[in-house]
Amino acid sequence: MSSTMLAPSQQHQRTCTAEDEERVAGQDDAVKESFRMMFLNRVGSEDSPLLDGVFRGFCETNIFQGTHFSIDMVLQVFEKLFFRFEHASIPYLATVYRYRGPESDTVVLKLPNNGFTYLVKPQGEELFWHKRPGWVSPDPHEAMAQFPTLHAALSKRYHKVVVLYNFTEHRIDMEFEPRVMTDPLFLVTYEPGSPYLDTKTMRKPY
């Protein structure tokens, strides 16, 4: 009875393939850990998707002159509007406006990062974006895994995203491309902000 023997080169090729798979798996784990540190904040003994929670707070509690806006309504905004909303029972202001770009209109939603700590300076080619240097573009799939609410809210109308992260400016921009080109681009920006002082309850007769 004969047996088939692998040539030394074939044996080496199979060994290298196994090692490559192990190396790639290790790299994948490292990437996921990097994104976990980049986009999650420590709350007590657990990591919390803080920025996704800010977006969720906006979706659930935003109010403009007595009217609550759905995301579809936000995407129809043409003038600059300031929305009051709450995150962790703290009031904030969000800004929504539209501008005419070279490709299409862009609707911008500016949200406060609510104390998010930019602990990790990501590696990668530095880009110049919005008149500022120092931006990098992380992998969008891994980034969006840390934003489940944002993903669920936009996935029906938007199918591509570029994520831009600026460690120095403490800012994250996420630009979404629509499935239908008559829809606007949607830019969600997280940047430093302060709680909103609602002076309405402070006003007294005089």
Helices marked H in the chain: 8-39, 50-61, 71-74, 140-144, 148-154
What string of pLDDT tens digits covers the 206 residues of the chain? 444 444 444 444 444 455 544 443 444 454 455 555 556 655 554 555 678 999 999 999 999 999 999 999 999 999 999 999 999 899 999 999 999 988 899 999 999 987 665 555 656 667 767 777 778 888 888 888 889 999 999 999 999 999 988 877 788 899 999 999 899 999 999 998 888 888 888 889 99
Distance, in Å, from the CA atom of 127 to the CA atom of 46, rounded to the nearest integer, reads 32
Q: What is the CA radius of gyration of the chain?
A: 23
For residue 26, the model assigns a pLDDT of 41
Write the pLDDT tens digit of every residue in 137-175: 888 888 888 899 999 999 999 999 999 888 777 888 999
Cα 151 from Cα 133, distance rounded (Å): 27
The pair of three-digit structure tokens given for residue 150, joined into one six-digit string: 């944002």
Task: Using the structure block, give the residue that is written with the tokens 């996935």.
Answer: 155
User: What token pair was written down for 170?
Assistant: 């403490």
CA max distance for the chain: 107
Closest CA to 176 of 145, 149, 144, 146: 144
SS (H, E, C) 76-105: CCCCCEEEEEEECCEEEEEEEEEEECCCCE
Domain boundaries defined on the chain: 39-196
Position of tokens 């044996």?
A: 11
- Tell me the β-bridge partners of 189: 110, 173
- Exposed (0-12), middle (13-18) or buried (19+): which is 206, by Cβ within 10 Å? exposed
Residue 42's H or E segment, with its range, is: strand 41-43
Contact present, 92 and 121 (Cβ < 8 Å): no
CA atoms within 13 A on the CB side of 16: 6
